[in-house]
Each structure stands twice: as structure tokens, then as C-alpha cells.
Amino acid sequence: MSPLVAKTSRTVHWISSAVGLASLAFFSITGITLNHPDWFDARPSVASEAVTMPPAWIEKFRAADELAQLESLAAELDNRWRLGIPRNIDRDEFEWVLDYQRPGGVATVVLSLASGELSLEQVDDGFVAVINDLHKGRHSGQAWFYFIDVTAVICLLFAITGLLLLYVHAGKRRSTWPLVGLGTAVPFVLYWIFVP
């Protein structure tokens, strides 16, 4: 291996380890929490809140077309509870139901056109549920989606440059390649023998 490749590998290896350290630790820890859900006591908490909308607001809402209704309701929800874009919307002539899924929980808004009641119910499954959903990229948004991809690329750079550095130093450490072989073989053997 040329000195330039070895030097570049060392540089990329330490930079990727520094940049990816916290992310790698996070995904390692959440890998354990995902694999052992029985270790954690999941007790969802539920919080509810309701308000009665003014009759004039309901009347104006009923008179509007569907798009104007959605815009009016979205503005009210953002102003009142800082809710963004719902994942799902169900509506009929009697009520609107909006679901807001997020890591570790869900919020549901119901607007009853008959009573004028606007209610919010929030279910929080706890901290472990939040980090497990973040590990999977579940209900976590576009920025987190890209963060997972960037973390994966950083980990790959760390692994590839680590392999190149092992090659550089293998002559001084005879156990290098047997250990690399063992680390590579174990997951395949476990899968082949023990996974149904």
C-alpha cells in the first residue's frame, strides 16, 4: 500500500470516528433497546384537552369548501397546540379527525361540527419508545431520514479505512486476519445455523 493511501486512510478513519462517535453510540444503544423491549417498563401516558369553538367559527367553517376548511383548521391547531402537518385526515359531514404520529407517540385531534368541540389527545409511550422510533426512522421526518443515511456513510468510511489500516499493520500483528475472518464469519454462521 502506498504511503499516500495509508496516510489518507488514517486521516479519514480518525475524522469519521470523531464525527460519527455519538451517532454510532446512539444506534448501538438503541439496537439493544430494540432487541430487549422486555427490559423496559412501557407505560403510555395519555393527556387530553378540549375546547369549544365559537358558534360563529363553526358556522364559517361549515360554509367553506373542503380546502378552506382544512386551511382554517390547520391554522387553528398550529396556533393553539403547535401541531404541524397531520399524517392522516378523516372527515365527514359531522367531524374531522387528524392524526399526528411522532417518535414514541401519537396525537389525535377531533373537531365535532355538531357540538363545536375541538379535542386533542396525546399518547406518549416514553423515552425508550422515542429513541427506538428514531433508530428506525419511524415518524421522524425528512431531516432525520437523511441523518440516518449520513451516519451510515460515515460508519462505512470508518469500517473501510479501518480495514485498510489493518492491512498496513497486519505484518506486525499475526492475529489480525484470523480475527477479521472470525468477526466476518460469526454472523453468517449464526444466521445459517440458528435463524429459522
The mean pLDDT of 62-81, rounded to a whole number, is 94
- Residue (of 151, 153, 159) closest to 184 by Cα position: 159
Q: With residue 181 as reference, give the H or E element that holds it.
A: helix 176-194
Our CA angle for 65, 108, 75, nearest 5°, is 45
Counting residues of the chain whose pLDDT is more than 70, the rounded percentage is 100
- Residue (of 194, 162, 156) closest to 180 by Cα position: 162
CATH 3.30.310 positions along the chain are 45-125
For residue 1, pLDDT over 90 is answered with no
Q: pLDDT grade, residue 49 (50/70/90)?
A: very high
The mean pLDDT of 69-77, rounded to a whole number, is 94
The architecture that CATH gives domain 45-125 is 2-Layer Sandwich (3.30)
Q: pLDDT grade, residue 84 (50/70/90)?
A: confident
Query: Quick one: 185 exposed, middle or buried, by C-beta within 10 A (0-12, 13-18, 19+)?
Result: exposed
What are the residues whose beta carbons fall under 8 Å from the beta carbon of 140, sequence distance 6 or more?
102, 103, 133, 134
Q: How far apart are CA 102 and CA 116, in angstroms?
A: 27
Quick check: 139 and 101 in contact, CB under 8 A?
yes
